[in-house]
Structure 1
Amino acid sequence: MQTLIVFCHLRWDFVFQRPQHLMTRLAEHYNILFIEEPVQTEGPAHLKKTAVAPNITVCQPHTNVPHYGFHDDQIPVLQGLLSDLVPEGERPVVWFYTPMALPLLQGLDPALVVYDCMDELAAFKNPPKQLLQRESALLNIADLVFTGGPSLYEAKKNRHANAHCFSSSVDAAHFRQALDAAISHPDQAHVAGPRLGFYGVIDERFDTGLVREMAAAHPEWQIVLVGPVVKIDPAELPRADNVHYMGQRGYQELPQFLAGWDVCLLPFAMNESTKFISPTKVLEYMAAEKPSVSTPITDVKVPYGDVVAIAETPAEYIAACERMLAQSAEENATMAKRMREVVANTSWDKTAARMHELISNAVPGKKARPAPVAIEAVIEKRAEPLPVQAA
């Protein structure tokens, strides 16, 4: 079984998202070594290896270098720690989620290089100064480029001849558990209805002002927020009796929270960090057949604007939530039917299988591959079967 080395800026035990969905499925074909960013520690540098799933080993470097991430000063230490990961003579597939790890490619003698661009990392808060330069280098080196949604595809397609759009997908069976209201999570049992919920990372992409206005406009609404708070001053978070923070939860718990919600929220701030995002949760909410309201994120508005309520201003967002809560049983049934049609056309299994096919057929070092699917076709087919689905 061929080795697949993954360099990722997200920790495996953080929020279960695109990397975990894809790697747990690609592990059917590869022995996966998932390389995390270093952890600062005292004492000798060492590599902590943890088997987290069949054919998946998380490799967590521990170093005493006083810099975070795949910093230049970390590279020599990491090269030493990773030097014997692959048996001599084997040529692994090397997969990047972050261009910052590109210097670690040296010495690996890859059979193929894949760049899975799931986010526009340069648009996030405090990006490393070398990020854009390293991404340009990675795009020159990579044999395959995958993007996390149509907006990212538009931004990268002219920079690589073998780029493919793989938008967010869904594990429908997992989230359909939420159709049974009886499994509602006990930790929200004390929260009266109606419940309007969000799960995900609460960071600079989350519109704290919008949620604050929602809570003030409708004190009877109970806003349930599930997920870790990252890169936000706690003082900036909306605080009210009807705003409930549940903290980070495991992937297995998410359907339980969904089961007890009346409306699902996608309250993303409209800024540089959200310009290219393709939220995984939009399809997960649909699998649970819950009404959803989103700010006008392109990769939600364009493919799903007919089934997800889109609202630009706080007043419009609040009004859209009011409409969702007031829908008749007939309206809910029509909406649920449309959601089932959308969800039926995508799965992480199909996405991973298509990616494996592209890897298997790629010619190393040859960037001029057959033309990828046009973005117009990707968007058009989001409401119908999508041949290349994303995460």
Structure 2
Amino acid sequence: MSGPDVVLCLAHRRWSCYYDRSQHLMSECARQRRTIFVEEPELDTVAPDVELSETRTGVITLIPHLPPGLTLQQSERAQRRAVDFVLAHYGCFHPVLWYYTPKAIGFTDHIDASAIVYDWLEEPPAFANDGASRVGHREQHLLDRAHVVFTDIVDNDGFPDHRPLLHHNIHAFSGEPSWSETWRQMWSHVESAIEMRHEQGNVVGSFS
């Protein structure tokens, strides 16, 4: 098994939603390493709780259950505890952080990551006119810290895509010819970033 043995995926939708890019890629990931898919919280409990389950493809899903009415700070603190609990439960150290949503920075910025990946799924028209001005504060923070950025746009189809201007190590993948081959190529970029960090003597890196 090459590279870090844990990927912590910070998801932008439920695993049980329609099967799309994130599920395909994380299912491929789970063939070789422990893969934890962190969903957005359910606001349905009196006290914070954690729900863990395993999908048919071997991905572990983590759903934080939180009381309704929490402030953003309280919610992120509870989600941070949930993530820390699960990483400790599985004995995970220095995972690869694989982001689909910059919102997750609020409860993962303390984790010493082997690498930080942003799979940046954005509709090209949103960038058609004003480019970088559409990037929010947390998204820019994630772009500044990410070691590898992936996108889903290979052919612009007439829409200018400004994302390659916003990161030095960005690669486009569409899922062709297969998700297994796509994952193999994407992971090779992650491994290259990790190797470069080792050569630079910077083995782990948090957002601090």
TM-score after normalising by structure 1 = 0.43
User: Counterpart amino acid of 1:146?
Assistant: F
Structure 2 unaligned segments of length 5 or more: list them: 127-134, 198-208
- Name the SS of the counterpart of 1:15 in structure 2: coil
Deviation at 1:43, TM superposition (A): 1.6
Partner AA of 2:25 in structure 1: L
- Give CA deviations for 1:179-232 in whole Å, capped at 9, x if unaligned: xxxxxxxxxxxxxxxxxxxxxxxxxxxxxxxxxxxxxxxxxxxxxxxxxxxxxx
Q: Which residue of 1 aligns with 2:9?
A: 6
Structure 1: gaps spanning 5 or more residues: 124-130, 170-345, 367-391
- Cα contact 1:91–1:108 (8 A) shared by 2: yes
| Number of aligned residues | 182
Asked if the contact 1:115–1:144 (Cα under 8 Å) also holds between the matched residues in 2, the reply is: yes
Deviations 1:122-152 (A, max 9, x none): 95xxxxxxx7111100000000000011349
User: SS of the residue aligned with 2:50?
Assistant: strand
- Are positions 1:133 and 2:140 aligned together? no
d(CA) in 2 for partners of 1:153, 1:165: 14
Matches within 5 A, 1:323-342: none
Task: Tell me, yes or no, if structure 1 residue 104 matches structure 2 residue 107.
Answer: yes
1:162 paired with 2:166, answer no
Q: Kindly tell me: are residues 83 and 90 of structure 1, through their superposed partners in 2, closer, same or farther at Cα, counting changes over 3 Å?
A: same
Say whether residues 1:359 and 2:198 are aligned partners: no
Counterpart CA distance in 1 for 2:125 and 2:119 is 15
SS in 1 for 2:97: strand
Distance 2:33 2:78 in 1: 26
Tell me by how many angstroms 1:67 deviates.
6.5
**Is contact 1:94–1:113 with CA below 8 Å preserved after alignment?**
yes
Provide the C-alpha distance between the structure 2 equivalents of 1:16 and 1:107, rounded to a whole number of angstroms.
30
Task: Please give the root-mean-square deviation of Cα atoms over the aligned residues, in Å.
Answer: 2.7
Instruction: Indicate conservation of the 8 Å contact 1:24/1:53, yes or no.
Output: no
Q: Identical aligned pairs, as a percentage? A: 26
> CA contact under 8 A between 2:7 and 2:33: conserved in structure 1?
yes
Distance in structure 1 (CA, Å) of the matches to 2:47 and 2:196:
38
Distance 1:146 1:113, change over 3 A: same
Alignment map for 1:97-246 (pairs within 5 Å):
97-120=100-123, 123=126, 132-150=136-154, 151=156, 154-169=161-176
Instruction: Measure, in 2, the Cα distance between the counterparts of 1:15 and 1:76.
Output: 29
Give, as a single letter, the amino acid of the residue that structure 2 aligns with 1:148.
Answer: D
- 2:23 paired with 1:20: yes
2:36 matched to which residue of 1?
33
Taking structure 2 as the reference length, the TM-score comes to 0.78
1:161 Cα deviation from its structure 2 partner: 0.5
